Amino acid sequence: MGTEVGDRWRSLSPEIGRDELEDFMSRVASPVAITGATGFIGANLLEAFGSTGVRPSVLVRDARRLPAHLAGGVEAVPGDLDDRAALARLCAGAGTVLHLAGLVRAPNEAAFDRANRVGTANLVAALEAVAPGARLVHLSSLAAAGPSPDPGGRDPADEPRPVSAYGRSKLAGEREAMRHPGPWAVLRPPAVYGPRDIDILQFFRLVARGLVPLPSGERFVTTVYVTDVVRAVLAAAAGAAPGRVLHLGEPTPRSMVELIEAMAAAGGVRARTIAVPPWVLRAAGRAGDLLQRVGFRTVAMTSDKAGELLARHWTARTAGSLEALGLSGHVPFAQGAGVTWEWYRRQGWVPHAKMRLV
């Protein structure tokens, strides 16, 4: 259920309701196989499956990484995207395959390519051998499309122009997914936020401290709450929009300054932004590259990431995609950010508000 947002889109709940889930799952072909189940979006997807009675098979390097309260509701298949035998076991007889696995941080382009292109190619080869008619939902990224030259955003039909090694590898992965002989859909989420995320978390932490450095110049972004990504995955798994590339996210982009203001308001704190010259981000990226080369694996800022941040507008045209998926609305940012603040504070990831806004 939801309330009206403007004249067209409904405000959806941050939690998928039972009736909504039952409608999706009544149209999803079983058995279901999932890659990337231990990641941010994957764990939220498993939360949804946990209340449906469907027991998906999940590809995991280490089953101990599965959320403890969800581990009993899945069939763990040990292995990774390089393990062809594991992929064959995962996909054997599958009716639906949800490919969420991907690498978002890597020391070089070859590592991104191996995980995001070659890994997808291996999965598609397994499907061709053991489940050629399965429906494949491939989770890509707006990075595959590249930034938009204007705030209005990139359309799924636009020629992709990725600006990072990550984006190029995700675009290559899309092309591998499209080789699947059965029905497929490609989903491109923009910046995804919500409980369990560790990337947009950095902005929440900066806002909590009251000062947020941003690249100089006006920049617009499209965002999406994690539950809306899960909705899109389930809608595509249920058969919506086969053979299409779809952009996810709120239909109306907002400027980075507006985003930070809305984030602060949702958290009951005050924050201001300061403009950072491009050379500072590039220098930070080079420093991050060096840290990666000496063994640090979770460096947030690299040259690749700096290049993405310096792009003008990470925005997407999403209205047509949402309609094709049969989605009537989205979680408003203020509501999603509020839920995210609460979750981060319970985990101790951000401090509690010192000052409430009135």
| CA gap 99, 197 in Å, rounded | 18
pLDDT at 230: 98
| Token digits of residue 280 | 């500072």
Q: Are strands 220-221 and 254-255 parallel, antiparallel or unpaired?
A: antiparallel
The single residue listed with the structure tokens 């941080």 is 105
CA dist 217 and 276 (Å) reads 9
Amino acid at 128: E
Query: Using CA atoms, how far apart are residues 164 and 151, in angstroms rounded to an integer?
Result: 20
Q: What is the pLDDT of residue 295?
A: 58
Domain membership flag for residue 297: no
What DSSP designation does 115 have? I
90 in any annotated domain: yes
Amino acid identity for residue 94 in this structure: A
Burial class (CB in 10 A: 0-12, 13-18, 19+), 98: buried
Helix (H) or strand (E) holding 187: strand 184-188
pLDDT of residue 264: 97
Tell me the whole-structure pTM to 2 decimals. Answer: 0.91
Q: What is the CATH number of the domain that holds 181?
A: 3.40.50.720
* Residues 6+ positions from 349 with CB-CB distance below 8 Å: 201, 204, 205
| Residue-level pLDDT at 189 | 98
Q: Backbone phi, then psi, for 200, in 5-degree steps?
A: -65, -20
Query: Rounded CA gap, 121 and 116, in Å?
Result: 9
Angle (deg, nearest 10), helices 40-49 and 226-237: 60
Question: In a 10 Å sphere around its CB, with 0-12 CB exposed, 13-18 middle and 19+ buried, how is residue 274 labelled?
Answer: exposed
The domain in which residue 229 lies consists of: 2-196+222-253+315-332
Domain assignment present for residue 10? The answer is yes
Residue 301 located in a structural domain? no
Peptide bond into 31 cis (omega under 30): yes
Of 83, 182, 175, nearest to 131 by C-alpha is 182
CB contact set of 160 (below 8 Å; sequence gap of 6+):
144, 145, 146, 171
- Give me the number of domains the chain comprises: 1
- The answer to whether residue 189 sits within a structural domain is yes
C-alpha angle 207-210-211 in degrees, rounded to nearest 5: 85
The CA-CA-CA angle for residues 138, 141, 144, to 5°, reads 105
Cα–chain center distance at 300: 16
Assigned token pair, 249: 């996210």
Residue-wise pLDDT tens for the chain (358 aa)?
A: 444 444 589 999 999 999 999 999 999 999 999 999 999 999 999 999 988 889 999 999 988 888 888 888 999 999 999 999 999 999 999 999 999 999 998 888 999 999 999 999 999 999 999 999 999 999 999 999 999 999 999 999 999 999 999 999 999 999 999 999 999 999 999 999 999 999 999 999 999 999 999 888 889 999 999 999 999 999 999 999 999 999 999 999 999 999 999 999 999 999 999 988 776 666 766 766 666 665 555 656 676 666 666 677 999 999 999 999 999 999 999 999 999 999 999 999 998 765 444 3
pLDDT of 290:
65
> Looking at the domain assignment, is residue 35 inside a domain?
yes
DSSP 273-289: EEEE-HHHHHHHHHHHH
